[in-house]
Structure 1
């Protein structure tokens, strides 16, 4: 099941430093970022093996997840929030702000056979 965690952040007069230190529960094999999104939805899949961590490092977006038992809506509106996605989490990313930059960390390198595009019947 998807899980939202708070990332350790340090703030002072010089600015803000957010650190991903021992909070991602998998080895990071790939990272990518999504930006300049129009009104389109992104995602629309789940995985056989891949775990992911999503952080909206600028702006905001929403991620709707479904693991065939529960549907949840997550509002990623701060770079201090990290959404951990399990392979079974069908996810759709939507409502991107015009300035949104979504960083995604993944446990595997890209493999098109890892993607499952058919949604659960409960969606």
Structure 2
């Protein structure tokens, strides 16, 4: 897992509703933390950081949002709007989440527990990190 990429999760369709599953061996990392973002106000943005070591999978459980990925050279925008699709983000990539729709929910599966020292929260520091 060297670059961010979309993955399609299994979707079990049923007349009573659909079900998607994420199993331990379906990701290129073991997840240690699960959290979700919701009630994001119109015009607000989340993220705005990179991780030195941690990787993550982001999924739009409800609604939609954009994930802007920067690598210090280029920018790519992924729109997430399906609960059976996710975006794998390896460590070392800057991410910004915005354009949340009303009711948008972002589920995150992270490869590690919260450690403040793993975060790079200043973009200029991120660029220095990428050059090192």
TM-score computed with the length of structure 2 as normaliser: 0.87
- Correspondence 1:70-81 to 2 at 5 A: 70-81=74-85
Residue 97 of structure 1 deviates from its aligned partner by: 0.7
- Correspondence 1:1-123 to 2 at 5 A: 1-21=3-23, 22-38=25-41, 39-119=43-123
Which structure 1 segments of 5+ residues have no match? none
RMSD over aligned Cα atoms: 1.2
Q: Secondary structure of 1:12's partner?
A: coil
Which structure 2 segments of 5+ residues have no match? 128-132
Of 82-91 and 22-31, the range deviating more from structure 2:
22-31
Q: Deviations over 1:88-122 (max 9, x none)?
A: 1100000001101110000010000100122255x
Residue 25 of structure 1 deviates from its aligned partner by: 1.1
Following TM superposition, where does structure 1 have runs of at least 4 consecutive aligned residues deviating by more than 4 angstroms?
Answer: none
The structure with the greater share of residues assigned to helix is: 2
